[in-house]
Chain A
Amino acid sequence: MDMNAPFYQFGMFDLETALAIAFAIGIGFGFFLEQAGFGSAMKLAGQFYFRDLTVFKVMFTAIVTAMLGLFWLSRLGIVDLSLVRVLPTYLVPQLVGGIIFGVGFVMGGYCPGTCCVAAVTGRMDGWVHLLGMFAGIFVFAEVYPMISEWYSSTAMGEATLSQVFNLSPGTTVFIVTSVALLGFSGAEFVEGKFKRTKSQS
């Protein structure tokens, strides 16, 4: 049999091993979030005041790294792109979800991953945020039957940027990377400006 993933599906290891691996990956992810300073609400919220755009830079770096990696690994025959899971797009529900997420992010200073990191490093605001997250999950599960129809409305399937804008994958990769690089230098400029303004005031 050819090398195939996910390994769990092909019986290469059992459920317990899969969970243990997920645990190890989760610990690693949390460790590096903390090392990047993402366990602090001040740093995370800083981007909304243009003082610290680390989150923006980290997110865009992740996107560009994954995108370039997938393009070239596929080109070299190492990764099979047809197996990469693309989450389906439901335009309006996801826009609304994004807005709720954004408001929560500005107010609390954490996203779901970073609030876990903050909580385990002993930050009280992290614990409060975590509690809020579980309360939100509970409320959502309770109201889900009422909004289930709307929840799956405006379905666009497994849409990708290149499909939506009718561009080739190569062109899309080039445009997104260029926008990211311009964004990075723009972010540096904005950070410098707002830090100066703050120190002057």
Chain B
Amino acid sequence: MTFYRLLAAAAFLLAGGALLLQNPERNAYTDPSSLAALIESEQDHIEPLDLARSIKEGKQKLQVIDLRDSTEFAEYHIPGARLMTLTALVNGGVRRNENIVIYSQGGTHAAQAWVILKTKNFPNVRTLLGGMSGWNDEILFPQISADAPDSTKRAFDERKALSVFFGGRPRTAPSYTGHPPRQKPPLKGGQPPKFEKEGDKLRETCERYGSTDIFSALVRIKA
């Protein structure tokens, strides 16, 4: 009986302590220099290629968050990604033990979300390097130069497979001409892109004449 009374007294003391403290959580303070160190050591982001491999292999459970608007999300999103506003994300949209990857179109909003989540002590949160634009360039429409050495071409095979897996289309560019890369075709909901007739013509002409200059290709079509 005395032992039980002792336990009861201990419980009462702990409860009294709780009453005095009120809040079970200490005021969290994030050291800004620790955040700076994470950014400098590049632990704040994940490369598109690493994310693509990770999703394809499916070994690690990732929570991929899309911060773009619903129209952009409907057009195309990384498979498995959840559409979320920044406000929803930082107000309980994700749990602290999840392995989180955030992306926006360019990366600014994702980076801002990263800082907010870090100040809320989320240990495993990263942004997708380059955002959706980076994903387009690296994964959906990777490009290899036609005169690239064989070793590079062999290494490119994996990129090709990933591109097809995620609904993109790998591109072979002619040797470097100094022209900017041609425009990317539109995408729909993770499906391989369907080219508009005009776009198809443009692409074929570009490929036939080995040019990435849209203007000269257009001239050739008209002619």
Q: Which residues of A contact B (CB under 8 A)?
A: 1-2, 4-6, 9-11, 64, 68, 70-72, 74-75, 77, 80-83, 168-171, 173-174, 176-178, 180-181, 184
Contact = CB atoms under 8 A, between A and B. Distances in A.
B69 to A, nearest CB: 26
B8 A1 contact: no
Given A4-B124, A80-B121, A170-B22, 6 more contacts: A9-B61, A68-B14, A170-B23, A170-B24, A173-B18, A178-B12
A12 B66 CA distance: 27
Contacts, number: 83
Given A10-B99, A75-B24, A169-B24, A177 B60 contact: no
A65 B97 CA distance: 24
Contacts of B23: 168-170
B19 A6 contact: no
20 contacts: A2-B123, A9-B61, A9-B97, A10-B61, A11-B60, A68-B15, A71-B24, A75-B24, A80-B96, A80-B97, A83-B96, A83-B97, A168-B23, A170-B21, A170-B22, A173-B19, A174-B15, A176-B15, A177-B12, A177-B14
A81 B17 CA distance: 18
Interface in B200-221: none
A71 to B, nearest CB: 5
Interface of B: 8, 11-12, 14-26, 59-61, 95-97, 99, 121, 123-124
Chain B binding surface, main DSSP class: loop
